[in-house]
Amino acid sequence: MRLDLTSDLVTLLQAIVDVESVSGNERELADMVEEALRSHGHLEVTRDGDCVIARTDFGRDQRVVIAGHLDTVPVADNLPSHLEQAPDGLRVVGRGTCDMKGGVAVQLQLAAELTDPNRDITWIFYDHEEVGAELNGLRRIAENSPQLLEADFAVLMEPTNAQIEGGCQGTCRIRITVPGKASHSARSWLGHNAIHALSDVLDRLNAYDAQEIDVEGLTFREGMNAVSVSGGVASNIIPPSAIIDVNYRYAPDKSPDDALVELRRVFHGYSFELTDMAPGARPGLDREIAKSFVDSVGSTPKPKYGWTDVARFSALGIPAVNYGPADPSLAHTDNEYCPADQLDTCANGLRRWLKITEEA
């Protein structure tokens, strides 16, 4: 099967959704995307593993990256896709429609259509977003061919309900191990119950005053929460140790080092193991190019709650936003879908921003 990039967005979305591309199995879809893009002479197409990069090179004053991932989480009896008429309009239903092949369909249509854009564009279709960061296609490109990511601004087409979500929160996970002393539960006074001792850590979390922090006009709400607890040996033994994992979602005004300082403050007196750290991304909405994007899209920017690959662009000094069709709360659900009208909204917003107008 070949992709027709001139087809309407609903048809194009169904075509790419029906090619199963669970993380690690992106090859078939990547091949189809590469073949379709190579047929358009205004694009220079590069392949890195199962990542496809298509660039214009007209010598424009500015370059933007527009990126989306090809992979999905595992299928749950939700392929092939189908259409559903809902009270609010037509929906495309199936694995990946929301996260994030709706955005990929918009990218593909515009990559073919915009043969004379007002800015040079780097279109990126990457692999392994839904799995460990060490496999992420954007990370691989940054290491192998960083020049391909150079840009003045980036748009990541993660689902946002066709609204602009600027930057993203940073995320950090730590593990606190609380010691105890084992004894027979019939003689509990001879031991020290580590699970009971977790109460102090939980009290600190319950008392934590989550901050709302303004970053470039967007208000990010932080959060610090226990996300797992484990401990115990047997039903007749006082637990000799207990473990609690804590996730801290922090505003992008903080660096990873700042986040660790805050965790050490909250858990003063405890040692902990850092198990995961990903920096946030400032929105960059104070840049002129970002302002032009906001004006063209006509959306009031909101903060991105959660972490996305915009942070990878931010780390390279490229301001980035999330902007794509579908409700992000449906991502990874068995009944995920993408509203047809949001496909058109995102395509038209990007088209207004990137197309040379008759007056220009």
Q: What is the tens place of the pLDDT at every residue in 299-320?
A: 899 999 888 999 999 889 998 9
What are the pLDDT digits (tens) for 176-189? 999 999 999 999 99
Residues with catalytic annotation?
Answer: 71, 129
pLDDT range class, residue 356, cuts 50, 70, 90: confident
Give me the mean pLDDT over the 341-349 stretch: 97
Residue 58: phi and psi, rounded to 5, are -100, 0
Terminal Cα distance for the chain, rounded: 39
Percent of the chain at pLDDT exceeding 90: 92
Task: Report pLDDT for 134.
Answer: 87
What are the pLDDT digits (tens) for 200-212? 999 999 999 999 9
226 has pLDDT over 80: yes
Alpha-carbon span 254 to 163, nearest angstrom: 25
Task: Report pLDDT for 360.
Answer: 39
Give me the mean pLDDT over the 210-233 stretch: 95
Task: Report pLDDT for 359.
Answer: 45
Other C-beta atoms lying within 10 Å of the C-beta of residue 55: 18
**Structure tokens that stand for 275 in this block:** 């198990």
Give me the mean pLDDT over the 249-265 stretch: 97
Give me the mean pLDDT over the 264-278 stretch: 96
Alpha-carbon span 147 to 151, nearest angstrom: 9
Under DSSP, the state recorded for 95 is: T
358 has pLDDT over 90: no
The amino acid that residue 249 corresponds to is R
The amino acid that residue 45 corresponds to is V
357 has pLDDT over 70: no
Q: Tell me the sheet residues that pair with 320.
A: 154
Give me the mean pLDDT over the 162-167 stretch: 95
Residue 99: phi and psi, rounded to 5, are -120, 95
What are the pLDDT digits (tens) for 29-63? 999 999 999 999 999 999 999 999 999 999 999 99
Task: Report pLDDT for 106.
Answer: 98
Query: Any residues with CB less than 8 A from the CB of 62 and at least 6 apart, and which?
Result: 119, 120, 152, 153, 289
Task: Report pLDDT for 224.
Answer: 98
Cβ distance 347 to 110 under 8 Å?
Answer: yes
* Average pLDDT, rounded, for the chain: 95
Q: Tell me the sheet residues that pair with 247.
A: 173, 225
What are the pLDDT digits (tens) for 93-139? 999 999 999 999 999 999 999 999 999 999 999 999 999 888 999 99
**Structure tokens that stand for 139 in this block:** 């990370």
Q: Angle at CA 115, nearest 5°, toward 112 and 119? A: 110
